[in-house]
Amino acid sequence: MKVEIIAIGTEILLGDIINSNAQYLAKQLAMLGLDVYNQQVVGDNEERILGAFDEAFKRSDIVITTGGLGPTKDDMTKEVVAKYFKKKLIPHDESIKNIKDYFKSTGRVMPENNFKQGMFPQGSIVVKNDNGTAPGVIIEENNKIMIIMPGPPNEMKPMFKESIEPYLKNKTNTTLISKVVKIIGLGESLVAEKVQDLIDKQTNPTIAPYAKEGEVTLRISAKAEDEESALSLIKPIIEEISKRLGNNIYTIGEDSIEEVVSKILIDKNLTISTAESCTGGMIASRLVSYPGISEVFLEGAVTYSNEAKHNRIHVKQETLDNYGAVSYETAKEMAEGIAKTSGTDVSIVTTGIAGPGGGTEEKPIGLVYIGMYINGEVTVQKYIFKGNRNKVRNQATIMALDMVRRGLLKSDI
């Protein structure tokens, strides 16, 4: 079945926001084995939206739209869809109640504007939105299927996963199963070199590498009649990749590095603390994004000033004076200091020069020391990362989390 994605929103046509929804949906649909041959973007304009629908249904069986479900007048997707399918918009009591409840629970009264978010084309399926006030819609009519979702990615993505994906799975009878292998510590071209022969000779499953800041992902996708057959195609490939890449693979699955680290800590019943200078709270924040983290994460310190490094986590004044805040020695004392003052089994710390200022010949921008404490032993690693301030901070955060993973797997505590 052919699916077409239409993003509706003047802000995309003006370049104010990037159409990340289309990429997300394209990827998800490909994994479902559905063909996407066309994408469109159109503004909040009735005539042009109708034109886009016409064009899309000429060549595709299913049209998925994102955007234009907000409470304001220029949000008109549902209105135009109703017109396209010649349906009336009627109120959906449950949705209106949900929207009212949503406002009530935030201590506000529902503005009159939001009422229209509870109106739907007659005969359509209303799709719940757990993260906002705009429900989605599915319309099945004359062998056409139209699926309407809200524009904000943090509403659209969970709606797709919870409601639209299961709906689409029901409509197709090939299954495409994907498994991802996630790698930290090897660059994209090095990973590609090590598995290029596998990539070249495979057509089912396919192997696709992608890189994002500090990480490389290999996605292995197999098409088959059912899940079991697809998995049995994938299994030997993953075994071969695992043999070649070893413990540079931090997970086979969707977990993030912070999830992997958190789970190992919880599993080993080890507590952790963080002390961050250049990363400024990023490591702590990523650990805290894992819901179960309170079992093992006791505290973090963002020791940005030298005073904080000295007062809070007992880095010696002479160490700071003699070696500087960005040094092997400071990283070492930070790791010991935060672990001992917080009483944790493990600690991870960073100190570095994220830029754009502050670099010298001896200590260039991108220089970061990452220190780790595991039950009395301290390890420090030195990195020079490339890129702007936030890229340096992101890479340092990822390498720090991965250093904990490797440290925990190696140690026998």
Site for its own copies in 179-198 (CB under 8 A): 187-190, 192-193, 196
Q: What are phi and psi of 177, to 5 degrees?
A: -110, 135
- Of the two residues 131 and 379, which places its CB atom closer to its own copies in the complex? 131
Q: Left (φ > 0), alpha (ψ -120 to 50) or beta: where does 147 sit?
A: beta
Contacts of 404 (CB under 8 A, 6+ apart): 261, 272, 346, 348, 372
The reply on whether position 25 binds its own copies by CB under 8 A is yes
- Pull the structure tokens for residue 77: 């997707």
Task: Note whether 61 binds its own copies by CB under 8 A.
Answer: no
List the one residue from 46, 162, 267, 307 that touches its own copies (CB under 8 A): 307
173 binding its own copies? (CB under 8 A) = no
Interface with its own copies, residue 301, by CB under 8 A: yes
**Residue 100 contacts its own copies per CB under 8 A:** no
Positions 224 through 263 that interact with its own copies (CB under 8 A): none
Binder of its own copies out of 59, 97, 161, 169 (CB under 8 A) = 59
What residues numbered 108-167 form the site for its own copies, per CB under 8 A? 108, 111-114, 131-132, 152, 154, 158
Nearest to 132 by CA among 64, 91, 71, 44: 71
Q: Candidates 1, 17, 233, 378: give the one binding its own copies (CB under 8 A).
A: 17
Judged by CB under 8 A, the stretch of 86-94, 136-144, 261-269, 387-395 that binds its own copies is 387-395
Q: How far apart are CA 94 and CA 102, in angstroms?
A: 12
* Size, binding site for its own copies by CB under 8 A: 114
Residue closer to its own copies by CB (options 162, 377) is 162
C-alpha to C-alpha distances, 391 to 64, 110, 211, 296, 384, nearest whole angstrom:
34, 41, 14, 28, 12
Spell out the alpha helix ranges (H) of 181-221.
188-201
Spatial neighbors of 278 by CB under 8 A, at least 6 apart, are 326, 350, 351, 352, 353, 354, 368, 392, 393, 396
User: Counting contacts by CB under 8 A, is residue 36 touching its own copies?
Assistant: yes
Q: Does the footprint of its own copies cover residue 15 (CB under 8 A)?
A: yes
